[in-house]
Structure 1
């Protein structure tokens, strides 16, 4: 597949569009780490920042460490959808769990959405949040039937407002003939990932958390009831350690790494377009994702001037320049009129999938963890960050449904996802077969 380099804007950046308004943060290099803390949180994503703020709220001295700049990972590299519930039902599988366990997971999924929306609105965080709704588009008739069943389950278990839309009603949410219908969840929302991350950094500091960039944890040593956390910036000792690294978990945490599958997720941002064009392509400014196994996601930018479009461009990973062209071709399959629109940004982030496609929270050898965003982490990982902190302090209202006795792994897997290209290709074949069948 050839790529037309002319679609790259002269000011093209291989960085997230969200960084233009809120870039990752580098803390002062000469600042020494404290020698002691009550809690060390490893990872500066949504999960780690919410955990740090919660510990701080209750008077704990908490230090947060990241291997790179604060916010360099997937928390500022996503689409910015704020949802709750549908990924548990849609991404499953749910056949291996009881109806009672599923109900508890859905309860916590709803709680994650309520937590984030209440946090943003209640504390007036500058996060670009909007209750815009989310449309799940059907790639073919068979997928539409599955989405309608999903909508019924969402109504039954979560109480959200869901509208079933046929092909003739598509124009109300997206101007394309590429899809054949879908379901619109009115209650869901969107935010600006970079602004949300910056607001969480500020919030954590207001509650007393100390944040350090470029402090990769290279070794964790148990010393009685405490841990020694070794980094290039020095050692720090703490009673509690929280691991919140998701798709960026390193070999220093091999037990966890064997349970997480890092997968690259790609996005582009178009050059600025007339507002009326955006409003015509995506009436109502809703989040859209489709039913393909290698799904596509799209939305207007927070200022309503660009299209943000996410897709996996090929079976094997590509650099951002090549990926931009491939994703542009996918975008034009949905909106042919955008064929001459240039791309200003292309970026990729690493999400953490799990073998059972569920997030996990718990404790292992004295290390607390909240891991496994499964490409749906804005609300869930924010919520689980708070919950792991509350678990550590013994103040949880109830145990998390995602604290399970089993955190699956495979004997043949050591943490390097060599099989992702072949799974991607197989998914594309299956989606193509579904499309031909109608």
Structure 2
């Protein structure tokens, strides 16, 4: 186990850092992209491919933020339940959300292939396990709509589920044979290198502190470099969105930055892994306090991700709680130790789907709700297509961004909400 919480992430341990470019004060660009996560780099890559001069600014270093702290699942299902979306937006828009989530994963895999990004992309089988009879009933009711979007999906009884995972506590589940995982940091670094190969300038440790619309575009104030100008600006800061400008302040009030934690186990022998991961390499369950497990790209470790409280001890304490929780559900993991652990954040919106929009020449995307690898990539690409005036720029995610209640944005209340979710999962769901 690392002796310090500052140890390198598992995902970035073997990656060479991305170097920063130098930009002259007052330099002009076709687009300035704020944020070097999946969304910002996806937008920059597409804009530069079409001949635009693009600058990406990142407040920290690539690899330090949320993108490289993800668990690595390529989601093709949104976090929002289909019936909840239909109640809020109608069945047609709800169906479109699910349809575009499938397209988002397809686009992500196409970008990886087109730019030969070496990120351990692996197609594999996923199960979603129902932790209660109520949650199994909900899976059954939503399954027809899921089947329409993912034809290979099927429902599993409790007995059938045990052929895929080494746990007997679940009431059944859903199988999605065509799922995928990757190394999220290798993907982010690969996007950055692909963008740079197309001529994109990347400045790290650079913060956007001001935007001012002028006659022919936007004046962008950067710290510590000074001002540059752009015809268009893309805000792709997601969970790191701060009140640096009136627009970013408005966006920051529409999300909650939710803590998440990842653990990577020690190396395990194949026979032990086979008792945990049977026919499915990715596991998730229906608890609101998320539980996720996957086989690492090297095939010798398990990757866990969960929400383990907010103000309850150090990251190491929370990692130990995650290990203990999985040991209770998967007997073959009892006694397993961890070699890596870290914390991260992801942004959620009030309706649990991402949103994108524009204000004058400033385009934004926010709130990928734990599906950031695919949805951020997709929405960054859509923003670029919108800037380019392309016919395929439209997306259902240009829905009005609903307000987030103030109490949900406060860290102290987030911790309380997670504890309430634990009670809900145990007694009411």
TM-score range, shorter chain: over 0.9
Q: Distance in 2 between matches of 1:399 and 1:317?
A: 43
Q: Distance in 2 between matches of 1:273 and 1:75?
A: 26
Alignment partner for residue 384 of structure 1, among 372, 379, 388?
379
The answer for the alignment partner of 2:337 in structure 1 is 342
Offset of residue 103 of structure 1: 2.3
Q: Distance in 1 between matches of 2:37 and 2:14?
A: 17
Alpha-carbon contact 1:132-1:187 (below 8 Å) kept: yes
Equivalent runs, 1:128-147 vs 2, <5 Å: 128-147=120-139
Alpha-carbon contact 1:127-1:199 (below 8 Å) kept: yes
Distance 1:286-1:245 versus aligned 2 partners, 3 A rule: same
Alignment partner for residue 58 of structure 1, among 43, 50, 53?
50
Distance 1:311-1:358 versus aligned 2 partners, 3 A rule: same
1:124 has 2:116 as partner: yes
Alpha-carbon contact 1:27-1:69 (below 8 Å) kept: no
Offset of residue 199 of structure 1: 1.2
Offset of residue 122 of structure 1: 4.0
The answer for the alignment partner of 1:214 in structure 2 is 205
Q: Distance in 1 between matches of 2:23 and 2:361?
A: 28
Q: Which runs of 5+ in 1 are unaligned?
A: 1-7
1:22 has 2:12 as partner: no
The answer for the alignment partner of 1:160 in structure 2 is 151
The answer for the alignment partner of 2:422 in structure 1 is 428
Offset of residue 208 of structure 1: 1.4
The answer for the alignment partner of 1:176 in structure 2 is 167
The answer for the alignment partner of 1:201 in structure 2 is 192
TM-score (norm. length: structure 2): 0.93
Offset of residue 242 of structure 1: 0.2
Q: Distance in 2 between matches of 1:188 and 1:91?
A: 23
Question: Number of residue pairs matched?
Answer: 425
CA RMSD of aligned residues (A): 2.2
TM-score (norm. length: structure 1): 0.91
Distance 1:52-1:270 versus aligned 2 partners, 3 A rule: same
Offset of residue 269 of structure 1: 0.6
Equivalent runs, 1:2-401 vs 2, <5 Å: 8=1, 14-22=7-15, 25=18, 27=20, 32=24, 35-89=27-81, 92-156=84-148, 158-231=149-222, 232-252=224-244, 253-284=248-279, 286-316=281-311, 318-401=313-396
Offset of residue 418 of structure 1: 4.1
Q: Distance in 1 between matches of 2:109 and 2:256?
A: 29
Deviations 1:236-283 (A, max 9, x none): 111100000000111212111111111111111111111332233112
Q: Which runs of 5+ in 2 are unaligned?
A: none
Offset of residue 300 of structure 1: 0.9
Offset of residue 10 of structure 1: 5.8
Offset of residue 365 of structure 1: 4.1
Distance 1:431-1:23 versus aligned 2 partners, 3 A rule: farther
1:407 has 2:398 as partner: no
Alpha-carbon contact 2:117-2:190 (below 8 Å) kept: yes
Offset of residue 307 of structure 1: 0.7
Distance 1:152-1:83 versus aligned 2 partners, 3 A rule: same
Greater CA drift, 74-83 or 417-426: 417-426
The answer for the alignment partner of 1:4 in structure 2 is none
Distance 1:317-1:352 versus aligned 2 partners, 3 A rule: farther
Q: Distance in 2 between matches of 1:246 and 1:23?
A: 25
Alpha-carbon contact 2:260-2:308 (below 8 Å) kept: no
Offset of residue 317 of structure 1: 5.5
SS at 1:423's partner residue? helix
Distance 1:216-1:269 versus aligned 2 partners, 3 A rule: same
